[in-house]
Structure 1
């Protein structure tokens, strides 16, 4: 299997050799961070934990595990993301189920979590039941993570996809926050009962004309509705700005933004909310791109 794509014959290989061989194949195909991805796929193919394999690097692949790893390798070389192959993605130290109905939660989105936690700390809210709204919750990564990090908080996640909401609910149950979370199919803020102290959102922000040029891992496997932000990528920000202040009258709203969009989003929020924003802050991701715009509202 997979000879035409350069997939090695894994049967009989040790864990160490299989990881090295798969890493070379992935790297040769131009896939970023091939060693890490090879480690994840090897671990899953063997049904082991990473810690277990570290203790037993001489473990060898039998025929069944080798066939599974070959299948994983074929799929990854065809540009299917590891998270889609395994059905799960690590986010802020926790594992989230993902499906074709949900956006793949990526490291850049962790910037929104870090920003939200910083705001909660600065406001002195850690010892109170902060109310959180996550607009476009998808897998629930933002809301569930914040509820896990803030044990007194309660929250609502909204999405327009019933299937995504089912995944978010499942993640909330599995990660122990379901009693403090609810999930609703809503398109507009004015259909949601507030008020909230904190709103977070990773809205679609890719300009429609740019989607065809995205990497296949994104273009093919992420839901189109979670990517397409309209002609200039800002359509959803405009819609949220119109109804933001009544739903978060005295609190913070934090938005993930695309690279180079921060100034436009800040201006849009200042102009579109119909009130003077009390404060605006930004946070950068690990690539030094401004990835989160946060606004403090005052009705």
Structure 2
């Protein structure tokens, strides 16, 4: 950063220009978020007081984070947190960064859980591959009568999920379990929910730099055809579901037909579909028949 430009407004403009020159598509938003985070000045302060002085130590820190962004690290990984369905989550190297598209899975699950709670007074879900805990914690935030177990094979991810549950004020209703899918799971649940890895193995290298360089590959790799986790979940879910229970899953673009066929082969019927913000079929709800 240019040390002669030490006013907030100038710093913001220079940050935006640097990201734009580097070809960052979201340069305007990214610059604002990073400047706000580093300087501690919110958007209103930028408007009201563009001449607010910025010292050299802050300028140096901003220069460092802009370099990280240009090198492919996402804004929210740099900041270390992201909001998801109204819940603020911390991120770690062991977890995916929750995406807005996954909110479609939460939206699909809400009516089902509302009905189960109305019928039984309480409901239990298990979130397979919980990562940051985003899905389970968002649903716990919606329903006080809900309890959840977050399952992950990564102990680091489970540490992150527990920390996020504490921050969200729902840790008394959230438990974690280190398990390779169902291998250590016991008990029964009203809802099995998951955003499983669904990228075909050979396609991972071609994903965005932010994903390839910083998201854990294990949380992305869905096997040769991207469908291996769905086969595992379809094969084993029935024995962990209560009467009238369901399975809710996020899917990748164009995977509905294949996932529906996998679950039909295990005698599950498709009960609901939810589209994401881009209008793509993103989440499916299945019930045993």
Q: TM-score, normalised by structure 1?
A: 0.89
- The Cα shift of 1:92 comes to 1.5
> Is 1:20–1:35's contact at 8 Å kept on the other side of the alignment?
no
Match of 2:61 in 1: 68
Secondary structure of 2:53's counterpart equals coil
Secondary structure of 2:63's counterpart equals helix
Q: What are the equivalent positions in structure 2 for 1:1-299 lying under 5 Å apart?
A: 8-9=1-2, 12-50=5-43, 53=46, 56-121=49-114, 125=118, 128-189=121-182, 191-249=184-242, 250-271=244-265, 273=266, 275-277=267-269, 279-298=270-289
Query: Unaligned stretches of 5+ in structure 1?
Result: 1-7
CA 1:57–1:177: 2 relative to 1, 3 Å = farther
- The Cα shift of 1:289 comes to 1.3
Secondary structure of 1:189's counterpart equals coil
Q: TM-score, normalised by structure 2?
A: 0.92
**Aligned Cα RMSD in Å?**
2.0
- The Cα shift of 1:124 comes to 6.0
CA 1:183–1:11: 2 relative to 1, 3 Å = farther
> Is 2:129–2:181's contact at 8 Å kept on the other side of the alignment?
no
Residues in 1 aligned to 2:117 and 2:150: alpha-carbon distance in whole angstroms: 23
The structure 1 segments of at least 4 consecutive aligned residues displaced by more than 6 Å after TM superposition are none
Query: Unaligned stretches of 5+ in structure 2?
Result: none
- Which shows bigger deviation, 226-235 or 85-94? 85-94
